[in-house]
Amino acid sequence: MADASTIAQLSVDALRLLGIDTLFCLPGVQNDPFFDRLVDAPDIRPIVTRHEQGAAYMALGASQVSGRPAAFAVVPGPGLLNTGAALTSAYWAGGRVLAIIGAIADFQKGRHIGVLHELPDSAAVIGQLSKHHAYLDDPGEAVGRVRAALIELVSGPPRPVAIEVPANRWNSEISGSLTAPTRSLPVADAEAIERAAAAVAAGKRPLIVVGGGAHEASHEVRTLAERLRSPVFTRRQGHGVVDTRHPLWCPITVGREFWRDADVAIGVGTRLEFPITHWGVDEALRIIQINVDEAEVDRHGIGTIGLHGDAGPTICALLEALGSLQPQGDDQTAAVAGRRAEFEWATGHLDPQRRLLGAVRRALPDDGIVVEDVTQLGFAAHLFFEFRHPRTFLTSGPAGTLGAGVAQAIGAQVAAGDRPVVALVGDGGFLFTATELATAVQHDIPVTIVLHDNKAYGNVRTIQRERFGPDRTIASDLRNPDFLAFVRSFGAWAEQAAGPAELESRVREAIAHPGPAVVVIETGDMASPWPQLMMGRVRGQRPMGPGR
């Protein structure tokens, strides 16, 4: 890369070196010099959004689909704050998102004089929402700081990285050249690999749990499961790592039953927070944690065998170490089939959701992508949707961000190209970012939204009824607009569906439509899937001590 003459040009070059060809953005006066440089970068497509949160959610969706960095640019103060929920989602849901954020002039920083878009401490805000923050107030340090930021972005745990540029520094002249960042990944300790292999080989009932850090290791996870003949399950972010049609895969409800009796649990790219804290651990369970984030290998202090490394190579090393060992575990394939059959019978009361999700599945190609907003239909998808490929289920993860779905899906569709993206969105969450349909229309982004309309914040209303009584609901009912008229007012396609059969045909039509499309389906109340998702302890009350 040739020497960059200004910080503005350096920032444009950084996007190129990351392979980013789309910038989700909302311009403003503090960032004018940067956007002036972007005019001369026809290889980078600006997608202007209707709200800063939309820009950040779109970058998250794009990164999740591709597994690569995506970027957005916003102004400081309210612009930055408007992206907060999306950055939180990216932090917890594994988004390699580059946030380019303007700042007030550096000579105004900390003076609290009330200049346009001033925050008392923008770094304190950014620091809580990203894993690395580069403040470019020194032209002599700019190249080095940007280089460090890019390396952080592509390496280690996938989380947001921010570059903050004072308004008076965009045109500051700099020297030095920027090169493409080299990805750095940890390599698991050989001795720990041997200990893990010995524990796995001695296990009678091994179990594999996969999360969002395993998407590039689908083949390796499947090979390990087949070698051990052990069940494998996901909770949320790992959906699609193993095809749900595989005879060893099971939904989380069934995974809990296997957790009850497992003597070895192998976590791959997952925090293991849910089974450890909700289902319990005891001295009879050995836990092996494979994670690129060193903080996760024994976060709970229960004496896990921590393998600090990237999922794919670490599993390969574990399989190699198992080469001369004969695993003692029984073939659990039949047990998985039996428990899955029991699960199907026990969840018959959720058939309305199962049928609707089946309709969406049939309308999508194998590699079609589903985006989950916080909605009853999305919750049920964790149990019933047939995920067939990695990176085909996008979520806001532990952030649980209501209203992310529309904008997140638009960004995902940009990165997905010809692969269709369908968002499952409730009527409550829809209106959080529904105005970004204007963005999708303007930029010809053919995203599809399935709008599940039950005229309420349905999850809230259901919980209120179940906990406090049917006459104790409050602040959960909604009076909605005419959704078809609303969507069509943007120039988007919109149709109503009644029942699963019509939903399937409508979703097919929506996918075939060359622009954004919304399918509205009114459902009324449906049984809650939460009893099958939030289940209690099945192992000992006392956690294992550290150093076991």
Q: What pLDDT digit, counting tens, does each position of 428-485 carry?
A: 999 999 999 999 999 999 999 999 999 999 889 988 998 999 999 999 999 999 999 9
- Homologous superfamily (CATH) of 347-532 is Thiamin diphosphate (ThDP)-binding fold, Pyr/PP domains (3.40.50.970)
The pLDDT value given to residue 498 = 94
CB 204 within 8 A of CB 263: yes
* Domain(s) of CATH 3.40.50.1220: residues in the chain: 190-342
Closest to 167 measured CA to CA, from 114, 101, 78? 101
The pLDDT value given to residue 547 = 35
Q: Tokens 């004496």 belong to which residue?
A: 303
What is the C-alpha to C-alpha distance for residues 418 and 107, in angstroms, rounded to an integer? Answer: 47
CB 439 within 8 A of CB 47: yes
Q: How confident is the model at residue 329 (pLDDT cuts 50, 70, 90)?
A: confident
The pLDDT value given to residue 327 = 74
CA distances from 469 to 100, 359, 460 (A): 48, 33, 13
The pLDDT value given to residue 113 = 92
On the question of pLDDT at 534 being above 80, the answer is: yes
The pLDDT value given to residue 326 = 75
Q: Which fold has domain 190-342?
A: Rossmann fold (3.40.50)
CA 302 to chain centre: 27
CA distances from 333 to 98, 206, 225, 337, 342 (A): 43, 12, 10, 6, 14
Side chain identity at residue 122, one-letter code = S
Closest to 99 measured CA to CA, from 52, 138, 168, 137? 52
**Percentage with pLDDT > 90 across the chain:** 90
Q: How confident is the model at residue 542 (pLDDT cuts 50, 70, 90)?
A: very low
Longest C-alpha distance within the chain, in Å?
71
DSSP string, 412-450: HHHHHTTS-EEEEEEHHHHHHHGGGHHHHHHTT---EEE
φ/ψ of residue 229, rounded to 5: 55, 40
The pLDDT value given to residue 4 = 59
**Residue 115: other Cβ atoms inside 10 A:** 15
- Which token pair is 166? 């004072």
What average pLDDT does the structure give for the chain?
95
- Which token pair is 282? 């005891």
- Contacts of residue 425, defined as CB under 8 A and 6 or more positions apart, other chains included, come to 373, 375, 405, 406, 449, 450, 451, 452
- Convert 375-387 into a string of H (helix), E (strand) and C (coil): CHHHHHHHHHCCC
On the question of pLDDT at 379 being above 90, the answer is: yes
- Homologous superfamily (CATH) of 7-166 is Thiamin diphosphate (ThDP)-binding fold, Pyr/PP domains (3.40.50.970)
Side chain identity at residue 75, one-letter code = V
User: In this structure, are strands 97-103 and 206-210 parallel, antiparallel, or unpaired?
Assistant: unpaired
CA distances from 408 to 196, 377, 421, 513 (A): 38, 17, 10, 20
* Domain(s) of CATH 3.40.50.970: residues in the chain: 7-166, 347-532
Residues present in the chain in total: 548
CB 306 within 8 A of CB 289: yes
- Contacts of residue 198, defined as CB under 8 A and 6 or more positions apart, other chains included, come to 325
The pLDDT value given to residue 541 = 55
Tens-digit pLDDT profile for residues 12-43: 999 999 999 999 999 999 999 999 999 999 99
DSSP string, 299-319: TT-S--EEEES-HHHHHHHHH
On the question of pLDDT at 316 being above 60, the answer is: yes
What is the C-alpha to C-alpha distance for residues 7 and 79, in angstroms, rounded to an integer? Answer: 20
